[in-house]
Amino acid sequence: MTFPARNPTKVHFLLFLCLAIFTACGSPTDSENIGQDQAPETVDGITATPGNPNAGNAQASPVDIEPIVHGSVAMRYAGLDILIDPYDGAERYASYSAPDLVLITHTHSDHMDKATLAGLDLSKATLVAPQAVMNEIGNLNWADKQTMANGDTLDYKGNSIMAVPAYNFPAAPFHTKGEFNGYVIELGGERIYFSGDTGPAPELEELRNIDVAFVCMNQPYTMTVDKAADLVSKFRPGLVRPYHYRNKDGSFSDLEEFRKLVKEKAPAVKVLIEDWYAEK
């Protein structure tokens, strides 16, 4: 922090000195929390993301991650362009290169948006999706298709993709156990989790070594803020980026409350709050 220049009198100097002594003797816990909240939390070009046990003094990872809208994310790594659940019109993707890889979590139209997909150049793209998506996606001129069920792993050009459960827990009529996927993608040593639409399924508590987690929280379809924070505190990613937080009534989940709960339950986990619904 930069303070304005001063010409203090003796009284001002003494006040400043007292303030400095008070600050130096402050609570370690308070100092630690201030440092956490002010630490850079960007992962657009991940640099040894907090929580990565393999990062050490590694140089900046060449993984670029960019929010698009709602549950849609774009990534670029080693010349590969990757889209997760592209949604809300092909014009949102006009500035991006044609994708090499598209991962779709499930069949709902804000994740499997066939109109948006039809407006993209998919001529070199591999589709990764659960069988339910494959049954409905239609012919969109994919270069390749790879069906993944919960628990499956796939090597894509030397990069690991794992499909993980995504379902309502406790049971609700929106997302059925075993039908839809979340994904853990490993690129350049970074393990990145995309929840898709899910409740706090017990299997997700077993996720390990997640560097960046994109976690949903919207009602009534997925998790409440407190359930999402509790889940995050169980698998403890280095950084969590809440997404997919627009509720059915158009309101947004309380992301500051989510941040507060995460800090209470798992202080080492960083939280990056972003506007996923800004006009583009």
CATH topology of domain 42-271: Metallo-beta-lactamase; Chain A (3.60.15)
- The pLDDT assigned to 215 comes to 98
Per-residue pLDDT at 59: 40
Instruction: Spell out the domain ranges in the chain.
Output: 42-271
**What distance, in Å, lies between the first and last C-alpha atoms of the chain?**
32
CA dihedral 193, 200, 249, 133 (to 10 degrees): 60
- pLDDT in tens for each of the 280 residues of the chain? 332 333 333 333 333 333 343 333 343 333 223 223 333 444 434 433 433 434 443 344 569 999 999 999 999 999 999 999 999 999 999 999 999 999 999 999 999 999 999 999 999 999 999 999 999 999 899 999 999 999 999 999 999 999 999 999 988 899 999 999 999 999 999 999 999 999 999 999 999 999 999 999 999 999 999 999 999 999 999 999 999 999 999 999 999 999 999 999 999 999 999 999 987 6
| Contacts within 8 Å (CB) and 24+ apart, 90-93 | 90/115, 90/116, 90/118, 90/119, 90/120, 91/119, 92/68, 92/116, 92/280, 93/68, 93/120
pTM score = 0.80
CA dist 212 and 216 (Å) reads 13
- The answer to whether 213 touches 219, Cβ cutoff 8 Å, is no
Q: How far apart are CA 220 and CA 177, in angstroms?
A: 17
Angle between helical axes of 225-235 and 255-265 (0-180°, round to 10): 40
Q: For residues 213 and 239, what is the distance between their CA atoms, to the nearest angstrom?
A: 6
